[in-house]
């Protein structure tokens, strides 16, 4: 929902056509880790199609943004049988975060928005997974809207805010653990936050496999605008086998799913 503030600048954020740098690969006998990231939209509590999208993806870890207390009730009721380990934190309207996991949640650290201009918190977890212990950082970065409410000005003024946000959040990471940083980045793969992670050795999986895939859309009076605002970034201790967009649910965001094995 919060991403609709990008209305009117979607054409500036459209991804350029590019060839994928990776080809989907079968895991063979190796254990896999499947991760979903999904901004469920805080105004669509309990959307049945979104719940079905989460269930059918059958991921090991699900990182959600824009959850609410009502969303939590629906998720626990409808998905508790496949995700015995869940945690929710509600905040500041659209700032709710959640993790659903098949494996135990071993450690967590809730990170308040400390960067100047940041809106939402982040949440780090250490999780038991089929590939061993992995830390997952769930983020929802500042949307492209200025302090005065201008979308046009926000497009140019907020990239540095998102970079400062991600800089502050990744400072909490444990360098000894395989790492996932995922969520609603409110920017495409050329954005400052995504490029900051790349310099830190974390790469966004989706543009490697499907560089032109949209994860967000919004209907306007002149047509639908769209972009790739959601990312699942991974560090070199994990190797991606595939990353896809699941075009299901009524949120303005679609869920994305990436599958990994432990890198040799």
Say how far residue 104 (Cα) sits from the centre of its chain. 20
Q: Which phi-psi region, left, alpha or beta, contains residue 15 (left: φ > 0; alpha: ψ -120 to 50)? A: beta
pLDDT band at 153 (very low <50, low <70, confident <90, very high): low
Q: Which residue has the higher pLDDT, 45 or 115?
A: 45
Q: Which residue has the tokens 């929902």?
A: 1
Beta bridge mates, 219: 224
Residues 222-230 have a mean pLDDT of 89
Point out the least confidently predicted range of 126-135, 156-165, 221-230.
156-165
Full DSSP string of 120-177: --EEEEEEEETTEEEEEEEEEPPPS--TTS-HHHHHHHSHHHHHHHHHHHHTT--TTS
Q: Determine if residue 105 is left, alpha or beta; phi over 0 gives left, psi from -120 to 50 gives alpha, anything else beta.
A: beta
> According to the model, what pLDDT value does residue 11 have?
37
Asked if the model's pLDDT at residue 12 lies above 50, the reply is no
What per-residue confidence (pLDDT) applies to 6? 42
Q: Decide if domain 2-11+31-262 falls under CATH 3.60.10.10.
A: yes
Per-residue pLDDT of 202-221, as tens digits, reads: 999 999 999 989 999 988 77
Whether pLDDT at 2 is above 50: no
Q: Which helix (H) or strand (E) holds 119?
A: none
Question: What pLDDT score was predicted for residue 218?
Answer: 81
| CA-based torsion, 80, 82, 88, 93: positive or negative | negative
pTM of the model as a whole: 0.91
State what percent of residues in the chain have pLDDT above 70.
Answer: 89
The CA radius of gyration of the chain, in Å to the nearest whole number, is 17
In sequence order, which residues have a C-beta less than 8 Å from that of residue 211 and are 6 or more positions away? 15, 17, 18, 19, 20, 21, 189
Q: Which residue ranges make up each domain of the chain?
A: 2-11+31-262
Q: What confidence tier does 8 reach under pLDDT thresholds 50, 70, 90?
A: very low
- Tell whether the model's pLDDT for residue 63 goes beyond 80: yes
């Amino acid at each position: 929902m919060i991403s609709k503030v990008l209305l009117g600048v979607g054409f500036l954020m459209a991804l350029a056509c590019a060839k994928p740098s990776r080809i989907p690969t079968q895991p063979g006998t190796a254990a896999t880790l499947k991760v979903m990231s999904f901004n469920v939209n805080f105004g669509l509590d309990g959307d049945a199609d979104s719940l079905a999208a989460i269930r059918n993806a059958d991921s090991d870890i699900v990182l959600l943004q824009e959850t609410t207390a009502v969303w939590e009730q629906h998720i626990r009721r409808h998905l508790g049988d496949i995700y015995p380990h869940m945690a929710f934190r509600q905040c500041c309207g659209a700032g709710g975060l959640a993790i659903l996991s098949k494996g135990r949640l071993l450690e967590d650290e809730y990170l308040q928005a400390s960067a100047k201009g940041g809106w939402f918190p982040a949440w780090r977890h250490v999780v038991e997974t089929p590939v061993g212990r992995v830390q997952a950082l769930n983020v929802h970065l500042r949307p492209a809207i200025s302090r005065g409410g201008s979308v046009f000005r926000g497009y140019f003024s907020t990239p540095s805010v998102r970079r400062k946000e991600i800089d502050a959040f990744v400072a909490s990471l444990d360098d000894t653990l395989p790492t996932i940083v995922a969520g609603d980045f409110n920017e495409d793969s050329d954005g400052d936050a995504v490029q900051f992670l790349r310099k830190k050795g974390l790469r966004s999986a989706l543009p490697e496999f499907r560089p032109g895939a949209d994860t967000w859309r919004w209907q306007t009076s002149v047509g639908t605008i769209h972009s790739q605002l959601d990312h699942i970034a991974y560090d070199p201790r994990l190797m991606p086998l595939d990353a896809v967009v699941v075009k299901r649910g009524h949120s303005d965001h679609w869920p994305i799913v990436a599958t990994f094995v432990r890198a040799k």
